[in-house]
Chains A and B, each alone.
Chain A
């Protein structure tokens, strides 16, 4: 694996190996000394063209726990705001001697361009691009699900995950559908028809616009997890739904809906949560909610990704 750009690129074996590595990384994070020397001497650049404190500090913590040096590059206040192109930025990174680039960009496909245009020759990790992909988020969601549903081993075969909310604008939903399907899980997307992308019928999932019906188990089995998506208020400009109140009533996860879930079912949310809109405070704070755990798991998963991409770079040389 050279880059991590999309969960659609991952084979089942790749995905399980990443989750296994993340499990081993998580184990090291309960120690007094959390830092490991694996990536000592390497420089990782966090290239953030879009604000995201949560994802950036998660990548930063992951890189630092593996002893890499981290340079944070945020577009705001940088030469990007003076009109510098992605190519020029990439060439600057090459000159600095970056060993890996973690990129967040508002344009779908920007990490792919960075990885394949020949401007730099380092591994590229997609930390979220436009409405396209957010692979480490999907991996941490799968990691969280696997821990609770499969004892932290193997894949998610036979599990049923319901993904609810703004699928249209959600890179989290896209990444999760690809990864969960690869891991053998059954995925049901629930969204207002206005918030479903064109062509969703070709995705490896079922689609519904009735949350209550989707949460009830069917002949194929009951629901194992509900993943709520954030309503991106900044993108709700053209009347995708009549009112926030109506959205909350039809597509929000409240205590009553949580109570109807099977006892083992989990509630996931990628954060930040709009309490009272897509998720009620009771549901967000219920014991089934893994929101805080997901953040901790994010560091382990990103450690696994950086380790997998950066260790073994000069494969085949050297003797122990």
Chain B
């Protein structure tokens, strides 16, 4: 019998690593350094990605004296517009770095950019938390199919997909390995997978 649920790996460990290094340099270039920069990860997998970017930015700045770029995480659950259309989801804490986000250049970091609704929710959440000077968006994968006028400033990989396909991002910190996969959606394994795929 043919395997209906074919899964292809589109990014492997070293490709993810190179993509993040490139994004880190692009962030530094666009913001002319790391002053006033804040990285905010969108749970779940945006959070370790933000930490990795911060580490690369600190390395690229390279003088060892500078403090690392502040990293935080921003829970968007209560700001989603589909909150009543899905099973109730657990909340994760929002952690802002010391010094907050007022007048900072905030880079939102997420694993997959898809409909844009998560980012919209994150922008609403940010507005309740402070007033950044600019807000930029970094995504490891942009799979298209936007439902809102939102685009990423930094993209690890543009991945053209069909809406029926599912994009999965696995990271060492959460899943034990690094990989970006694309699979034909035949059956939904769990709500977690579905969420990961649709983020």
Contacts and interface: CB of A to CB of B under 8 A. Distances in A.
Nearest to B92: A24
B87 A36 contact: no
Contact of A37 (B75, B78, B82, B129): B78
Give the interface centre of A21, A28, A314, A317 by most chain B CB atoms within 10 Å: A28
A256 interface: no
* A interface residue count range (under 10 / 10 to 19 / 20 to 34 / 35 or more): 20 to 34
Contacts of B88: 307-308, 311-312, 315
A313 interface: yes
B90 interface: yes
Contact of A38 (B83, B87, B114, B117): B83
A25 B198 CA distance: 25
B128 A31 contact: yes
B19 to A, nearest CB: 23
Interface in B128-183: 128-129
A318 B86 contact: yes
Give the interface centre of A317, A319, A320 by most chain B CB atoms within 10 Å: A320
B17 interface: no
Contact of A320 (B90, B115, B128): B115
Contacts of A24: 75, 90-93
B80 interface: yes
Contacts of A27: 93-94
A129 B79 CA distance: 33
A312 B129 contact: no
* B interface residue count range (under 10 / 10 to 19 / 20 to 34 / 35 or more): 20 to 34
B199 interface: yes
A17 interface: yes
Contact of A17 (B90, B117, B195): B90
A316 B115 CA distance: 18
A246 B84 CA distance: 54
Interface in B68-106: 75, 77-80, 82-94
Give the interface centre of A311, A315, A316 by most chain B CB atoms within 10 Å: A311
Contacts of A318: 82, 85-86
Contacts of B21: none
B128 A319 contact: no
Interface in A110-132: none
Given A21-B91, A311-B83, 12 more contacts: A23-B93, A24-B91, A31-B129, A36-B128, A38-B79, A311-B89, A312-B87, A312-B89, A316-B86, A318-B86, A320-B82, A320-B199
Interface of A: 17, 20-21, 23-25, 27-28, 31, 33, 35-38, 66, 307-308, 310-320
- Nearest 10 CB-CB pairs, A to B? A318-B85, A24-B91, A312-B88, A38-B78, A33-B128, A36-B78, A318-B82, A320-B198, A315-B87, A317-B85
